[in-house]
Amino acid sequence: MSIPLPPILVVDDERNMRLSLESILTAEGYRMEGAASAEQGLNCLSQGEFFMVITDARLTGMNGYDFLGKVKAQRPDLPILMITAYATPKLAVEAIKAGALDYLAKPFAPEELLLAVARCAERYRLLRENETLRARATEAYSLARIIGDSPRMVELRQLVETIAPTNATVLILGESGTGKELIAGALHSLSRRRHANYTRINCAAIPENLLESELFGHEKGAFTGALKQKLGRVEEADGGTIFLDEIGDMSRSLQAKLLRFLEDGTFTRVGGNEELKVDVRIIAATNRDIVEAIRQNQFREDLFHRLNVVQFRPPPLRERGEDIVLLAEHFLKNFSHSLNKPGCAFSPAARQKLLAHHWPGNVRELRNAIERAVILETKEQIRPESLPDFEVEARLNRPNTEPPSVPGAQTLEDAMNQYERELIMASLERHHYNLTRAAEQLKISRHSLRYRMNRLNISSDALLEDEPPPGPLKELARH
Ligand SMILES: Nc1ncnc2c1ncn2[C@@H]1O[C@H](COP(=O)(O)OP(=O)(O)OP(=O)(O)O)[C@@H](O)[C@H]1O
Ligand SMILES: [Mg+2]
């Protein structure tokens, strides 16, 4: 993203100085406007957009420091570079104290000036980019994006509208692909916090040992590799909303720290002593069976109650059959537009096939199926052949009363092993090689799943989150 730079405002009562600054800056491609006094400078600022101000400390009339104070009051984000007569630490401190981002002592080399200006240009670009991204993130989520006319979805949208403007902590429980992330985003974008940051953390995607420092930050030297102080994502979200996705996967020790944070917004960075406080609204979500996780001592009950102030439960797609066609039509319209295949429609048989499926992957699975069909289909009509073969999922979710046909199996033992192997592989694939989730779905313990995988020679290379990562990361765990 390249954002064009507005000009630089240069305030100096010496004409020669303005001219020499102008020649250095314009040679580098910057645009510049000059003002001969602080008063004139303030006038320029009220009329146009600038990305920075360069001012001399000593000006006739209003001096540079007073000018700086006035600019800061009006435009707190605008970087100001102050030019002082001599390089004395006292003057430098004064300039910075008065709100200058940087200072230059006369005489200075053109490169020094250009370096300082480049830093301000970078800062301007970052600030603008952040604003744009923030606006886009808020735009991207809205109530209208949550599609569904079934009574439960209508009710859900109403609840989003009611709860969004409050500061209530929200817990979203639902199967994978039911729209938890959409709900969280809509809650933020309809809240009074919508102009502040919306920060999303996927607790399952960040290694357990690093999650605390990601959330709450760390001090320099807190652990091997902590070369600099790092602010936590909760600080980034100050004034806004933080969405803790997959909270069911958070370790118990971090759950305790999160509980404290939820009580009063206070936390300490990893390796730090200072107690910090922010104002953040928390939305948490998980697709795990949270009650089962509490029973198995994997999730703290007190944290559950703290999070569970308002609960959303987006229903699985199979429980709102009337939404299947509506959603399918919506995705068909979107994909046929973006893939440049206008006029695509479902054949009656394809519609039937969509309605007959169980949709274990919910709306995400439906969305992917439609995208694939639009890509594959060469005719104007989407035929059932262009939809995925829902066989594997159907077998996984509806116990088959027909004896499975296992080609190539000689004995009952072989056939059973082959069938078991297929089911385990399909479940692992579906849960992106997450052992805990696959075990949960198959209703066996992780230990038992591992044992079976060993027995059936299923490689565990692709498994996620099984053992904690080795090496220096372990150090973090002590903090
Ligand atoms: N009601 C809905 N209307 C339109 N699109 C939806 C709806 N629900 C889900 N989707 C779409 O389905 C996909 C999955 O939704 P989302 O990421 O919100 O699911 P999730 O519940 O967070 O799943 P997971 O637990 O796997 O993270 C997204 O592309 C989302 O836009
Ligand atoms: Mg999600």
Q: What is the pLDDT of residue 303?
A: 97
The protein residue with its alpha carbon nearest to ligand 1, atom 9, reads 179
Q: What is the pLDDT of residue 394?
A: 60
Overall average pLDDT of the 276-305 stretch? 95
The Cα–Cα gap between 370 and 393 comes to 16
Q: Which ligand is nearest to the CA of 363?
A: 1
Out of 14-18, 293-297, 342-346, 463-467, least confident range: 463-467
* 381-382 and 276-277 strand pairing: unpaired
Using the mean position of ligand 1's atoms as its centre, give its distance from the Cα of residue 192 in Å.
24
User: Is the pLDDT reported for residue 410 higher than 70?
Assistant: no
The Cα–Cα gap between 365 and 351 comes to 15
Are 179 and 160 contacting, i.e. CB atoms less than 8 angstroms apart?
Answer: no
Overall average pLDDT of the 9-28 stretch? 94
Task: Count CB atoms within 10 A of the CB of residue 86.
Answer: 9
User: Is the pLDDT reported for residue 136 higher than 70?
Assistant: no
Question: What tokens were used for 106?
Answer: 């006369």
The Cα–Cα gap between 37 and 56 comes to 10
The Cα–Cα gap between 141 and 184 comes to 9
User: Is the pLDDT reported for residue 332 higher than 80?
Assistant: yes
Q: Which ligand is nearest to the CA of 176?
A: 1
* Topology of the domain covering 141-312: Rossmann fold (3.40.50)
What torsion, rounded to 10 degrees, do the Cα atoms 53, 54, 60, 61 define? 10
Using the mean position of ligand 2's atoms as its centre, give its distance from the Cα of residue 187 in Å.
14
Read off the pTM: 0.61
Using the mean position of ligand 2's atoms as its centre, give its distance from the Cα of residue 78 in Å.
38
The string of DSSP codes covering 226-254 is --S-EE-HHHHTTTSEEEEETGGGS-HHH
What residues have CB less than 8 Å from 425, skipping those under 6 apart?
458
The protein residue with its alpha carbon nearest to ligand 1, atom 24, reads 176
For ligand 1, what atom is nearest to the CA of residue 245?
27
Fold: same for 318-396 and 406-479: no
Q: Which ligand is nearest to the CA of 286?
A: 1
Overall average pLDDT of the 456-466 stretch? 70
Domain ranges of the chain: 8-136, 141-312, 318-396, 406-479
Question: What tokens were used for 270?
Answer: 């990893």
CATH number for 8-136 (one of 3.40.50.2300, 3.30.420.40, 3.40.50.1820, 3.40.30.10): it is 3.40.50.2300
What tens digit of pLDDT does each residue of 84-95 get?
A: 877 677 777 777
For ligand 1, what atom is nearest to the CA of residue 180?
21
CA dist list (Å): 105 to 120, 248, 461: 17, 56, 60
Q: Could you say which DSSP state residue 469 is in?
A: P
CATH class of 406-479: mainly alpha
Using the mean position of ligand 1's atoms as its centre, give its distance from the Cα of residue 305 in Å.
25
CA nearest to 308, candidates 159, 160, 163, 171: 171
Question: What tokens were used for 226?
Answer: 């902590």
Q: Which ligand is nearest to the CA of 244?
A: 2
Name the residue of 172, 323, 326, 364 whose CB sits within 8 Å of the most ligand 1 atoms, as the mutation to test its pocket: 364
Name the 3-class secondary structure at 441.
Answer: helix
For ligand 1, what atom is nearest to the CA of residue 286?
25
Are 418 and 406 contacting, i.e. CB atoms less than 8 angstroms apart?
Answer: yes
Query: 209 versus 392: which is more confidently predicted?
Result: 209
Using the mean position of ligand 2's atoms as its centre, give its distance from the Cα of residue 440 in Å.
18
Name the residue of 363, 365, 441 whose CB sits within 8 Å of the most ligand 1 atoms, as the mutation to test its pocket: 363
State the amino acid at position 190 in one-letter form. L
Radius of gyration of the chain (CA): 30
Q: Which ligand is nearest to the CA of 313?
A: 1
Q: What is the pLDDT of residue 474?
A: 32
User: Is the pLDDT reported for residue 473 higher than 60?
Assistant: no
Task: Count CB atoms within 10 A of the CB of residue 143.
Answer: 17
Question: What tokens were used for 178?
Answer: 């039911």
3-state helix, strand, coil in the chain (%, to 5): 50, 15, 40
Using the mean position of ligand 1's atoms as its centre, give its distance from the Cα of residue 146 in Å.
9
The Cα–Cα gap between 87 and 104 comes to 8
For ligand 1, what atom is nearest to the CA of residue 367?
12
For ligand 1, what atom is nearest to the CA of residue 182?
18
**Alpha helical stretches, state H, 101-150:** 110-140
Q: Which ligand is nearest to the CA of 364?
A: 1
What tens digit of pLDDT does each residue of 33-67 get?
A: 999 999 999 998 888 788 999 999 888 888 888 89
Secondary structure E strands in 69-220 = 80-84, 102-105, 170-173, 198-202, 217-218
Using the mean position of ligand 1's atoms as its centre, give its distance from the Cα of residue 367 in Å.
9
Using the mean position of ligand 2's atoms as its centre, give its distance from the Cα of residue 218 in Å.
27
Residues near ligand 2 ion, CB 5 Å cutoff: 180-181
Query: 137 versus 170: which is more confidently predicted?
Result: 170
For ligand 1, what atom is nearest to the CA of residue 314?
21
What residues have CB less than 8 Å from 164, skipping those under 6 apart?
186, 187, 188, 189, 190, 191
Query: 368 versus 103: which is more confidently predicted?
Result: 368
CATH 3.40.50.620 fits 318-396, yes or no: no
What tens digit of pLDDT does each residue of 151-162 get?
A: 999 999 999 999
Q: What does the mean pLDDT of the chain come to? A: 86
For ligand 1, what atom is nearest to the CA of residue 323?
1
* 276-277 and 266-267 strand pairing: antiparallel
Overall average pLDDT of the 370-386 stretch? 89
The protein residue with its alpha carbon nearest to ligand 1, atom 16, reads 179
In DSSP terms, which residues pair with 281 in a beta bridge?
241
Question: What tokens were used for 380?
Answer: 């104007």
Q: What is the pLDDT of residue 25?
A: 95
Ligand 1: which residues within 6 Å by Cβ?
145-148, 174, 176-182, 287, 363-364, 367
Overall average pLDDT of the 366-371 stretch? 94
Is residue 472 very low, low, confident or very high in pLDDT (cuts 50, 70, 90)?
Answer: very low
The protein residue with its alpha carbon nearest to ligand 1, atom 27, reads 176
User: Is the pLDDT reported for residue 128 higher than 60?
Assistant: yes
Are 199 and 233 contacting, i.e. CB atoms less than 8 angstroms apart?
Answer: yes
Is residue 393 very low, low, confident or very high in pLDDT (cuts 50, 70, 90)?
Answer: low
CA nearest to 273, candidates 209, 216, 219: 219
The Cα–Cα gap between 410 and 352 comes to 37
Q: What is the pLDDT of residue 403?
A: 52
Q: What percentage of residues in the chain have a pLDDT greater than 70?
A: 89
Overall average pLDDT of the 371-397 stretch? 81
What residues have CB less than 8 Å from 370, skipping those under 6 apart?
328, 331, 332, 335
Q: What is the pLDDT of residue 247?
A: 96
